[in-house]
Amino acid sequence: MARTRKPKLAVWKFASCDGCQLSLLDCEDELLALAGEIQIAYFPEATRATVRGPYDLSLVEGSVTTPHDARRIQQVRRQSRRLVTIGACATAGGIQALRNFADVREFASVVYARPDYIETLATSTAIAHHVRVDFELRGCPINKQQLLEVINAFLQRRRPNVPDYSVCMECKRRGNVCVTVAHGTPCLGPVTHAGCGAVCPAFDRGCYGCYGPMETPNAPALSRQLRQLGMSEAQLKRIYRTFNAGAEEFRAESDRHDV
């Protein structure tokens, strides 16, 4: 009987810290089970052995920050039947998107001894700004259980079961006391995409939005509440400008406080 070909998985890196790729390696036991179902065809973080494309599923980490990246992501798309972006860098431009609010040449002149050697774009942008993306998995880093769910879903040709409600919902499920209501701690949980299991509020810290915006967040309403807690306009601008500063909803809200 002819053997069915295993689907080919490729993992690509753009401008990023590799933390999301490490979430895949961190799957350990599940990774062995996964390797039984798919062929890990291109994953330089894990192995130098590579198999030529096309690939059934590509996972893309990182943002586009150089002219070379902008060309390479087009090649990756052409070789990929399905393309999933993983992490805040790939879905929103990452912390490096702070350059979008400033002059990147000024940053380069401060950081590098020879900034004239640096070939970079003025902005850091999400992969979806450049090519069609089949699914975006948020987080900095991503949650490995959600990653396994996404890979499984694509193997089974169904939509991933990844909720797009807020961190507040996870707090309620976990039985966390609300840090804002109980202690007046500023928290971005009401506008932030679920996925982390509300880990920060569980330790009495406010959420700082590392999973990026939930679906249809009401950031202006949250900002009014944060102002009542004593945050200044400058603080409100900064609270939205972290790992997901380039996400449209957070960018727009931070701009509203850029006075």
Q: How far is the CB of 114 from ligand SF4 (least distance, A)?
A: 26
What is the greatest pairwise CA distance in the chain?
70
Q: How far is the CB of 127 from ligand SF4 (least distance, A)?
A: 12
**What residues numbered 63-82 form the site for ligand SF4, per CB under 6 A?**
none
Q: Which residue, among 145, 155, 154, has the nearest Cα to 196 in the 3D structure? A: 145
Site membership for ligand SF4, residue 93 (CB under 6 A): no
Sign (positive or negative) of CA dihedral 153, 158, 160, 161: negative
Site membership for ligand SF4, residue 247 (CB under 6 A): no
Please identify, using beta-carbon distances, which residue of 120 and 244 lies nearer to ligand SF4.
244
* Stretch touching ligand SF4 by CB under 6 A, among 88-96, 107-115, 151-159, 245-253: 88-96
Please identify, using beta-carbon distances, which residue of 117 and 203 lies nearer to ligand SF4.
203
* Stretch touching ligand SF4 by CB under 6 A, among 38-46, 84-92, 176-184, 226-234: 84-92
Q: How far is the CB of 5 from ligand SF4 (least distance, A)?
A: 30
**What residues numbered 180-239 form the site for ligand SF4, per CB under 6 A?**
192, 196, 198-201, 207-211
Q: How far is the CB of 206 from ligand SF4 (least distance, A)?
A: 8
Cα distances (Å, whole numbers) of residue 140 to 10, 11, 83, 253: 20, 17, 19, 20
Site membership for ligand SF4, residue 101 (CB under 6 A): no
Q: Work out the burial of residue 19: count CB atoms within 10 Å of its CB; fewer than 13 is exposed, 13-18 middle, 19 or more buried.
A: middle
Please identify, using beta-carbon distances, which residue of 146 and 192 lies nearer to ligand SF4.
192
Copy the structure tokens of residue 250. Answer: 């957070």
Copy the structure tokens of residue 48. Answer: 């130098």
Strand 55-61 relative to strand 135-137, pairing: unpaired
Q: Work out the burial of residue 222: count CB atoms within 10 Å of its CB; fewer than 13 is exposed, 13-18 middle, 19 or more buried.
A: buried
Backbone phi, then psi, for 224, in 5-degree steps? -60, -40
Binding residue (CB under 6 A) for ligand SF4 from 7, 19, 53, 115: 19
Distance of CA 24 to the CA centre of its chain: 14
Give how many residues touch ligand SF4 by CB under 6 A.
23
Binding mask 130-159 for ligand SF4 (x = CB under 6 A): ----------xx------------------
Question: In degrees, to the nearest 5, what angle opens at C-alpha 135 toward C-alphas 132 and 139?
Answer: 120
Under the rule (CB under 6 A), what is the footprint of ligand SF4?
A: 16-17, 19-20, 61, 87-89, 94, 140-141, 167, 192, 196, 198-201, 207-211
